[in-house]
Amino acid sequence: MRIVRPGKTFLLVIMLISSALSAAQLGLAFDGPAQQQADSKLPRKPFGQFVTVGGPVDDDLVSRVTNVTQELQVRAVRENRQAILVLEIRSGSSRQGQIYDLARVLLSPELTSVRTVAWIPKTLTGSHAILALACHDILMHPEAALGDIGRGTALSDVEQNFVLDMVDRGRNLHMSRAIAKSMMDPAVAILRVTREDREGHLQQQFVTESELRDLQNQNVVIAETERIKNSGQPGLFNATEAARAGFLVAGTPSNRNDVIDLLGLPLESMREAGSQQTKIEPRVIAINAVIGKLLADFIHRETQHAIADGANLIIYDIDSPGGDKEYAQQVATLIAELDSSKVTSVAWVGRTATQAAALVALSCDRIFMAPDASIGRIDVKTMRMNQGQPLEPANELNREDQQRLLTVVTSIAKHKNRSVSLIQAMVDSSLPVFEVTHRESGRVAWMNADEIAAQPEEWAQGAIIPELREGGLLQLSAARAHELGLSERPCHDFEELRTRLGIAATADLRPVSKTWVDNLVSVLNSGVAGFLLITIGIICIYLELHLPSGLFLIGAITSFTLFFWSRFLGGSAGTLELLLFILGMVLLGVEVFVIPGFGVFGVSGILLTVASLVMASNTFSGMSATESFEQSMSSLGSLAVALMVVIAVAVVFNRFLPTIPFINRLILTPPGYAANDGDEPQLNPTLLSRTTSSGEITTGMIGTTASTLRPTGKAMFGDLYVDVVSDGAYIDHGAQVEVLRIAGNRIVVRETDKS
């Protein structure tokens, strides 16, 4: 046997020839749309469906994939088109039996017109990697890795035989038994050999050490050998390195958009296939006005209510000319961060979604537009508010605001797998978008100058898109938005939308619109309203303690009820805040009415009450530690001002309470009290002697309560009208009391038997 050691140039030629042969064997699965249209003998453009395998594989997921594959097969045969099932596989822990059940579904011989593709966005190890090996092709993110099925240990012979049987079917032309063995057993080493076949052609093959010895024993001419994996190392292969070496992966796209482009699939293929056993629970929220604080609060509140009620499909019915950029960004961020695996967000644009409304629409998972609708033109100059109405465009563009907005829309575009350059062109007119063509596949895309410059060897720049030839911000019609991949195929009316989303005809799709209650909640959620409610509530409590009529108690309860009700509906308060407030008030009540003095109960009650009011005034969701601290300090500042106002009111009431109309009928004035003229000289009360006609108040003196003691109140001892405190129990008005002890100005009394 002769072993040739060729130079690097010769090896490069060999690899190119091998790659060309592999591509020819792989067929047309990854040819772009332009290439497919060039050959009239090729089938029509394929269609496809995404299914995510995220958590544990269970019976529901197996049934779900089975239903999807059967539907794809039926449609593919009926339309004479190829169907592609894309499984986005993520790491998880599943029972081996259910992994095998799902793999058998993918390997079903009945799926003659369905091609299965595994999409690996992140490194995948463990049993879920078996599902990738069951597919026809594997696509991986350039930085992802695949393998190490046993996670450091070798699989049993039974498990290995199951995987090897899949590989032997020859479905994935980038896989071999040797690669599969190395993934299942760290002890297996892998070599890449370049060999000559009987006709003298060079071929690349991946073999184990034992397979290499078999080739040598058969006198096969080996041109080159290269070790890919050493014995003892886990069989975990990086996507970029595997693609460069020519095994395992068929492509290295970066996101779902790249996947559908690589497979030549339409945009709607990116829609996740829902479970056939899961009933669609829709909710429609209307956005039909200028987006300001009131509408933003309403959208946030109704979205949270919809999720709490079990809705798994939220349709935002958008017909808005725009609004304030800050509130629009809040709404867009809220929608973009919804868990797409649990709740699907859909934007329905019946007429227009421009300015701030376009930002909200683009944050949804799917966008449907009426044929005459338009979307785009997010102009930061007009996205401001003045009493709920848009301002005229500013004379100078605030570049800093525009950059912040660009950052937001870029993040949303990437998160929702939409064209970054097209959405940026809606915000910044200095970022024109060009039609570009892939130099190899002929695939058409749309990029700005920076994106083209980053990969000039792949894309050929064409003309600027027609909508931007005259300058200005990008605004698209429904048909054009669909053509550029930003929205779904135009939808004529809401009933057609119902059908395309698979919503039952009996489902209630009446939009939830803003009412006067929503406006009231939004007003009460404002900082000024919250400050007034807290202030009025505390003042009413103070007055109730001094004027026990029940009227002020009702006022206090009403104020704090409105405060927590508005915060609860606004999403900043919940059960915890309400319980803390109630517990704090109970502790304060115990301190005032049960336990004389001021101690642990009083301090704890104040702290709990303040904490509940601060927590109810802020959400703290999505805030950094600094922002949360600043919000807390702001709320504490408002409470401090409210307490200062209460103290000022208390001073005024103590001075003028007996002369205030209506209120003076609720209090008991001491004997001989007469209102003094403010201009007359007044004697300092501290100079008055405590000696009266009845003598000084001493221990054991008997008197009568002039008000109910709870436990503080008033009592008469002869002609002396003084403040007293009960020794613990309530004492009714008019009861006979005895002085137990005197400590400074504090007179402690107890009820005595009148007999």
> Do residues 416 and 427 lie in contact, with contact meaning Cβ atoms separated by under 8 Å?
no
Q: Where are the beta strands (DSSP E) in 76-200?
A: 81-89, 114-120, 137-140, 145-147, 190-196
Write out residues in the chain with pLDDT < 50, as ranges: 1-43, 275-277, 385-397, 622, 670-674, 678, 682-694
| Residue type, position 531, single letter | F
Could you tell me the strand order of the sheet in which 81-89 lies?
44-53, 81-89, 114-120, 137-140
The CA distance from 461 to 307, in Å, is: 45
The total of other beta-carbon atoms located within 10 Å of residue 34's CB is 14
> Do residues 324 and 354 lie in contact, with contact meaning Cβ atoms separated by under 8 Å?
no
The total of other beta-carbon atoms located within 10 Å of residue 385's CB is 19
| Residue type, position 673, single letter | Y
Q: Where are the alpha helices (DSSP H) in 169-292?
A: 177-184, 209-217, 239-245, 256-263
What are the φ and ψ backbone dihedral angles of 55, each rounded to 5 degrees?
A: -80, -155
Range 748-752, long-range pairs (CB < 8 A, 24+ positions): 748/596, 748/724, 749/703, 749/709, 749/715, 749/724, 749/725, 750/726, 751/726, 752/702
Sorted by sequence, the CB contacts under 8 Å of residue 101 that are 6+ apart come out as: 62
Q: What is the pLDDT of residue 84?
A: 92
Sorted by sequence, the CB contacts under 8 Å of residue 167 that are 6+ apart come out as: 133, 175, 176, 177, 180
| Residue type, position 279, single letter | K
Q: What is the pLDDT of residue 541?
A: 83
The CA distance from 493 to 352, in Å, is: 14
Q: How does DSSP assign 576-608, residue by residue?
A: HHHHHHHHHHHHHHHHHHTSSS-SHHHHHHHHH
Torsion of CA 397, 398, 403, 408, to 10 degrees: -100
3-class SS string, 704-728 = EECCCECCEEEEEECCEEEEEEECC
The total of other beta-carbon atoms located within 10 Å of residue 311's CB is 20
Q: How does DSSP assign 526-555, residue by residue?
A: SHHHHHHHHHHHHHHHHHHHHS-SSHHHHH
Output the CA–CA distances (angstroms, integers) from residue 614 to 93, 523, 531, 580, 633, in the order listed. 42, 18, 11, 11, 9
Q: What is the pTM (predicted TM-score) of this model? A: 0.53
What tokens appear for 60 in the block?
């529901």
> Do residues 477 and 251 lie in contact, with contact meaning Cβ atoms separated by under 8 Å?
no
Tally of residues, the chain: 755
Q: Are strands 475-477 and 459-464 parallel, antiparallel or unpaired?
A: unpaired
Q: What is the pLDDT of residue 620?
A: 60
The CA distance from 134 to 107, in Å, is: 7
Q: What is the pLDDT of residue 85?
A: 92
Decide: residue 292, CB within 10 A, 0-12 exposed, 13-18 middle, 19+ buried.
Answer: buried
The CA distance from 225 to 243, in Å, is: 18
Domains of the chain: 8-270 (3.90.226), 282-432+471-500 (3.90.226.10), 516-658 (no CATH), 688-751 (2.40.50.140)
- Please tell me whether residue 271 adopts helix, strand or coil conformation: coil
Q: Are strands 114-120 and 389-390 parallel, antiparallel or unpaired?
A: unpaired
> Do residues 464 and 433 lie in contact, with contact meaning Cβ atoms separated by under 8 Å?
yes
3-class SS string, 279-314 = CCCEEEEEECCCECHHHHHHHHHHHHHHHHCCCCEE
| Element (DSSP H or E) covering residue 159 | helix 157-168
The CA distance from 245 to 229, in Å, is: 12
- Which among 552, 598, 500 has a CA at the least distance from the CA of 271? 500
Q: Where are the beta strands (DSSP E) in 357-440?
A: 366-369, 374-376, 385-386, 389-390, 433-438
